[in-house]
Amino acid sequence: MRFMIIVKASKDSEAGVMPSQDLLTAMVDYHEELAKAGVLLDANGLQRSAKGWRINWTGGKKTVTDGPFAETKELIAGYTIIQVKNREEAIEWANRFPNPQMEDGEIEIRQVFELEDFGESEAIDRFRELDTALDK
Amino acid sequence: MPAGTRSRPGPPPPAREDDTLDSPAKSRATHRTIETVFRMERARIVAALARFTRSVDLAEEFAQDALIAALRSWPETGVPDKPGAWLIASARRRAIDHFRRAKMAGGKLALLGIDAELEAMPEHVEPDQGPGDEMLGLMFVSCHPVLSTEARVALTLRLVGGLTTEEIARAFLVTETTMSQRIVRAKRSLSDAGVPFEVPLGPDRAERLNSVLEVLYLIFNEGYSATRGDDWMRPQLCQEAMRLGRMLAGLAPEDAEVHGLIALMEIQASRMPARSDAEGRPILLLDQNRARWDHLLIRRGLAALALAQSLANPPGPYVLQAAIAACHARAPTAAQTDWMHIAALYAALISLTPSPVIELNRAMAIAMAFGPAAGLELADQLAHDPALRNYHLLPSVRADLLMRLGRHEQALAEFERAASLTQNERERTMLLERAQACRAKLEREVTTLGI
């Protein structure tokens, strides 16, 4: 199963301040450890929201808003995707993640959906068929 | 519950705690954490101890002792910051105690030749800084040529993969007793043959590495051949083979074939979401919905292939197979596949590893590149190859080409022959459906001709 470790943005990351050498080293060390164990699938840092934009649908109306966005803690600054055997292993790897920010930091861990995760059921079979039908 | 109180990069606090849980729940969570950590670190512990004790059996025994020590002390102290190092140090202490006792009992330690090593042994080692040679050594030992292929696969999954005997048994559809005996016998063969734990050098190394690659690809294919309804452990084998492959890439980064095998596995695995329909029937590569391919795995596969090609001169069999898989992965639609390139890659592969099965694949690629007649000419040359006598894909390929040439009567016979040869129930159904389609075309021809 796959998990995404989401790194939340901070005042610094939103201001475009590059991480310190210590922080970079800690992050590289951690990701090397993931790679050595064969569980690292993908990892990327995201540029500040000032360089991004949002598209919003409200009441059938579509609005485009340019960044930056104010609610820093809700923003994403990067992610790491790991492939592990079970949830416990994901918990253990997440626990080893260094604080990704120079000051207060936060990560959020989410499991990636796979159809197989639902197990076998009639509803899922229908979902698969729907999927196949839509693709045609 | 995730537990963690680390706040800064750099030296973290010595232990983790979680005060939000009440005691029994906390202790259950701690036990689960310890068992998880142990499972994650088991291979490294066994690798380090096998090198030290020259015995897989002893290594496993001391690893188990380290787990017991952790279960005793971590609930009090919390999980140490470098749990792997802690476990290895603890297992080594047990090993040293064991040998000291043996020395006092029989004075045989000198005979084992590790007396000096034992005395020089520091109490605390930092395995994180090690060159990874121990793990590579464990992989080489698990895939040693004195073992049967079956035994290599089982031992690799048990020692390097850290799967339980029960899990391996389920994945290979045998009883736990059978698998357990297979592993015991394999370990005995290793000790009987006195297999050394050092990583060999020179041409030996290449040969031994090749054996590891072969075992990993076998494990992958065992999982890849699993179908829906099979035990969930079977498809897990693909994940495990890929994980071990990625691990191996870190241990032997200069070897092109390691990256070639990873590329091959990642690209093949990328097709898993698309290769069967809602009823679990197989969908042929060219009919698959490419939007459902896992593009993260494709990207990883193509990157591994680029790395392999930059190291390989000339490319080996895994790099070539990965390059063929990459031709499919790069084509946005089946019609845009670069068949000429694929045909050339098959020709290169044949020159390295001559095989009528690869010849047949090349015939198919030639047919796609230059038309069915050219492909059929090649396939017909293989018709009398004894190695393909009972191989269902030969009539299946011939049938396909004959059908495209409008020779429906011959195609029908070949589809039926292919159906009678295949061992796979779902494939048989598909071949019989195609035979039926031929029959329908034949009847239509008859009607049109007014006979």
Q: Which is it for strands A53-58 and A2-8: parallel, antiparallel or unpaired?
A: unpaired
Give pLDDT tens digits for B220-258: 999 988 766 667 778 889 999 999 999 999 999 999 999
In this prediction, residue A126 has a pLDDT band, given cuts at 50, 70 and 90, of low
Q: Verify cis geometry, omega within 30 degrees of 0, for the bond prior to A68.
A: yes
Chain A residues with CB under 8 Å of B261 CB are: none
H-run or E-run covering B182: helix B176-192
Which residue of B156, B164, B239 to mutate against A (max A Cβ within 10 Å)? B239
What chain B residue is nearest to A23 in terms of C-alpha separation? Answer: B9
Residue of B nearest to A87 (CA): B36
pLDDT in tens, B37-80: 999 999 999 999 998 888 999 999 999 999 999 999 999 898 89
Chain A closest CA to B8's CA: distance in Å?
5
Residue B198 and residue B129: Cα distance in Å, rounded?
18
> Cβ of B291 and A38 within 8 Å?
no
Q: Indicate if the alpha-carbon torsion angle B229, B231, B236, B238 is positive or negative.
A: negative
Task: Give the pLDDT band of residue A22 (cuts 50, 70, 90).
Answer: very high
Amino acid at B379: A
- Distance from the A25 Cα atom to the nearest Cα atom in chain B, whole angstroms: 9
Mean pLDDT of chain B: 87
Q: Does B131 touch chain A (CB under 8 A)?
A: no
H-run or E-run covering A55? strand A53-58
Q: How far is A128 from chain B (nearest CA, A)?
A: 6
Q: Is the pLDDT reported for residue B404 higher than 60? A: yes
State pLDDT tens for residues B103-140: 776 655 555 555 555 555 544 444 443 457 899 999 99
B33 and A88 within 8 Å at the Cβ level: the answer is yes
Give me the pLDDT at residue B122, please.
46
Q: Which two tokens stand for residue B60?
A: 């496993």
Residues of A in contact with B37 (CB under 8 A): 92
- Check CB contact under 8 Å for B132 and A39: no
Q: Any idea what DSSP says for residue B200?
A: P
Contact A128 B278 (CB under 8 A): yes
Q: Which of B237, B239, B76, B214 is nearest to B139 (CA)?
A: B214
Q: Which residue of A has its CA nearest to B230?
A: A120
pLDDT of residue A118: 53
Q: B45 to chain A: which residues are within 8 Å by CB?
A: none
> Is B10 near chain A, with CB under 8 Å?
yes
CA B53 – CA B98 distance, rounded (Å) = 10
Q: Which of A53, A92, A91 has the alpha carbon at shortest distance from A69?
A: A53
Do residues B368 and B339 touch, judged by C-beta distance below 8 A?
yes
Q: Identify the pLDDT of residue A128.
A: 53
Tell which of A1, A34, A85, A129 to mutate to test the B interface (max B CBs under 10 Å). Answer: A85
pLDDT reported for residue B10: 45
Phi, psi of B200 (to 5 degrees): -70, 160
Q: pLDDT above 70 covers what percent of chain A?
A: 84
With a CB cutoff of 8 Å and minimum separation 6, the contacts of B240 are: B157, B161, B163, B219, B223
Q: Mark yes or no for CB contact A42/B239 under 8 Å.
A: no
Mean pLDDT over each residue of chain A, to the nearest integer: 87
What DSSP element (H or E) covers A116?
Answer: none
Classified as helix, coil or strand, A107 is strand
ipTM, interface predicted TM-score of the complex: 0.81
Torsion angle of C-alpha atoms B395, B398, B400, B404, degrees rounded to 10 = -150
Q: Please indicate if any CB of chain A lies within 8 Å of the CB of B39.
A: yes
Per residue in A63-122, pLDDT (tens digit) is: 999 989 988 888 999 999 999 999 999 999 999 999 999 888 999 999 999 756 555 555
User: Is B451 part of the contact surface with chain A (CB cutoff 8 Å)?
Assistant: no
What DSSP element (H or E) covers A41? strand A40-45
Give the per-residue pLDDT at B1: 41
pLDDT at B15 over 80: no
Across-strand partners of A43? A80
Q: What is the pLDDT of residue A127?
A: 57
Query: Does B28 touch chain A if contact means CB atoms closer than 8 Å?
Result: no
* Contact status of B36 with chain A (Cβ, < 8 Å): yes
Say if the Cβ atoms of A95 and B300 lie within 8 Å. Answer: no
> Distance from B240 to chain A by nearest Cα, in Å?
9
Q: What is the C-alpha to C-alpha distance for residues B346 and B340, in angstroms, rounded to an integer? A: 10
Q: In this complex, is the C-beta atom of B32 within 8 Å of any C-beta atom belonging to chain A?
A: yes
Determine the average pLDDT of the residues in B68-96: 92
**pLDDT tens, residue by residue, B269-328:** 999 989 888 777 788 899 999 999 999 999 999 999 999 999 988 999 999 999 999 999
DSSP state of B159: I
pLDDT per residue over B357-398, tens digit each?
Answer: 999 999 999 999 999 999 999 999 998 888 888 899 999 999
Q: Please, are residues B3 and A95 in contact by the beta-carbon 8 Å criterion? A: yes
Q: What residues of A are in the B interface, CB distance below 8 Å?
A: 22-23, 25-27, 35-42, 81, 83, 85-86, 88-89, 91-92, 94-95, 98-99, 109, 115-116, 120, 125, 128-129, 131-132, 135-136
Which positions in chain B touch A125 (Cβ < 8 Å)?
A: 278
In terms of C-beta distances under 8 Å and separation of at least 24 residues, what long-range contacts does B67-71 make, across chains too?
A: B67/B34, B67/B35, B67/B38, B69/B94, B70/B34, B70/B37, B70/B38, B71/B31, B71/B34
- Report pLDDT for B225: 81
Which member of B2, B277, B292 has the closest CB to residue A95? B2
pLDDT number for residue B229: 65
> Are B33 and A83 a contacting pair at CB < 8 A?
no
Q: Do B243 and A38 touch (CB under 8 A)?
A: yes
* Nearest CB neighbour to A98, from listed B9, B232, B247: B9
Decide if A97 contacts B254 (C-beta within 8 A).
no
Residues of chain A with Cβ-Cβ distance to B247 below 8 Å are: 36-38
Put simply, the answer to whether B239 touches A37 (Cβ < 8 Å) is no
- Report yes or no: B244 at the A interface, CB cutoff 8 Å: yes
**Which tokens in the block code for residue B408?**
């429906």
B278, A41: Cβ pair inside 8 Å? no
The helix (H) or strand (E) run that includes residue A44 is strand A40-45
Averaged pLDDT for residues B86-107:
86
Closest residue in A to B2 (Cα) is A91
What helix, strand, coil percent values describe chain A, rounded to 5?
40, 30, 30
pTM: 0.85
For residue A135, pLDDT over 50 is answered with no
CB B256 within 8 A of CB B311: yes
Put simply, whether B245 touches A (Cβ < 8 Å) is yes
Which domains does chain A possess?
2-135 (3.30.70.1060)
Please give the angle made by the CA atoms of B61, B66 and B72, to the nearest 5 degrees.
Answer: 130
